Amino acid sequence: MGIRERLGRLSAKTLGVIAALVVLATAATVGYLSNMATVSATVTSPFEIKTESTTMGTCTDTSCTITGLHGGDSFTVVGTLENKANNPIPASTKVICEDGLGTMSCAQMELRHSFVVIGGPNTGYEHDDGALPCTDVSGTAVYTVQPGYTFPVGHKSRDTFVATVVPTFFGDLNCRIQALPISS
């Protein structure tokens, strides 16, 4: 006897019960498969960057606003950079400067960098990078500091940036520093 014949012998009530069980089983399976686990995480930067002082303007932890610059003006910003992670981090450190008009370019300012290591395995080491390489990116000047340097565990440096604007520059600048880990 085939399935068709067997189903023909079942009453409408029995078929209804079987259909209801199939629907419930399907609904339970769909509900089970669509229950997704959720996870939340807080990710903080492995670097702590703080500006300590500037000869012009005002600074927050990672940026400075310098107002009323005239051609040939220079200003200095001193800050610290610390690797707070439990492992060495290869990173690319950038200083990004904008003039608020979207017309900033590398040709408008020279940025020099030097540092002394004040914490970690290389404490006491001093280095002068001199004028930093710069790239124009959509109306901003992006200066690269120590490209691809691996910051050891506990590294802390006091960094000094000296900027000089060209004689034809007049206006304001906002510069911020970022240490971006490089993924391998």
- The rounded average pLDDT for each run of 10 residues, N- to C-terminus, in the chain (184 residues) is 56 59 56 57 72 88 90 93 92 91 94 95 94 95 89 94 94 90 72
| Burial of 178 per CB tally in 10 Å (0-12, 13-18, 19+) | middle
How high is the pLDDT of residue 82? 93
Q: How confident is the model at residue 116, as a pLDDT?
A: 96
Give the span between the Cα atoms of 73 and 71, in whole angstroms. 6
**Every domain of the chain and the residues it spans:** 3-34, 47-181
Structure tokens at 173: 């600048």
* pLDDT given for residue 126 in this prediction: 96
Question: HSE (CB half, 13 Å, CA atoms) of 24?
Answer: 6
Joined together, the tokens standing for residue 97 give 């400067």
Biggest CA pair distance of the chain: 101
Q: What is the pLDDT of residue 6?
A: 58
pTM above 0.75, yes or no: no
Q: How far is CA 99 from the centre of its chain?
A: 21
Which residues neighbour 155 within 8 Å (Cβ) at sequence distance 6 or greater? 81, 82, 83, 117, 119, 120, 121, 122
- The CATH number of 47-181 is 2.60.120
